């Protein structure tokens, strides 16, 4: 019930294309869904996050789509750039006193020039 399943494991996209990464969760008590971006040799950094009261959130070229009934959420990167090449992690948590983030297994994105 605590798992967050992420796919695909790796993704290759041409420059200018759309990158799509999907995540599914089991625990219906989760109410915070962030995406983290990690470059080689660096720690993960928050990219964008969504709460279940909205179905979509957009920040620049990055969009989270959220489907509460299906218990799924996805990250879309529009006009993908080589600088977007990184590992992306979805995560989920509960907003209570036992706060902790449960991460997906990560997607390694390569954007070809």
User: How does strand 86-92 pair with strand 72-77?
Assistant: unpaired
Task: Kindly write down the DSSP assignment for every residue of 16-43, as one continuous string.
Answer: TS-EEEEEEE--TT--BEEEEEE-TTS-
Q: Is residue 45 at the binding interface for another protein, with CB under 8 A as the rule?
A: yes
Task: Kindly write down the DSSP assignment for every residue of 52-70, as one continuous string.
Answer: TT-SEEEETTEEEEEETTT
Cβ 94 to another protein, closest distance in Å? 7
Which residue, 32 or 71, has its beta carbon nearer to another protein?
32
Stretch 12-31 residues interacting with another protein (CB under 8 A)? 31
Which residue, 1 or 14, has its beta carbon nearer to another protein?
1
Question: Other CB atoms closer than 10 Å to residue 112's CB: what's the count?
Answer: 11
Stretch 69-98 residues interacting with another protein (CB under 8 A)? 89, 93-98
Cβ 41 to another protein, closest distance in Å? 7
Which residue, 77 or 90, has its beta carbon nearer to another protein?
90
Q: Is residue 1 at the binding interface for another protein, with CB under 8 A as the rule?
A: no
- Give the span between the Cα atoms of 10 and 23, in whole angstroms: 13
């Amino acid at each position: 019930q605590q798992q967050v399943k992420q796919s695909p494991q790796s993704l290759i996209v041409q420059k200018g294309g759309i990158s799509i990464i999907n995540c599914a969760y089991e625990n219906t008590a989760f109410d915070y869904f962030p995406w983290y971006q990690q470059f080689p040799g660096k720690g993960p950094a928050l990219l964008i996050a969504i709460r279940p009261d909205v179905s979509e959130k957009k920040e620049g070229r990055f969009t989270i789509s959220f489907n509460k009934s299906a218990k799924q959420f996805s990250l879309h990167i529009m006009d993908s750039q080589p600088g977007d090449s990184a590992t992306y992690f979805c995560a989920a948590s509960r907003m209570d006193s036992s706060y902790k983030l449960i991460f997906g297994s990560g997607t390694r994105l390569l954007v070809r020039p």
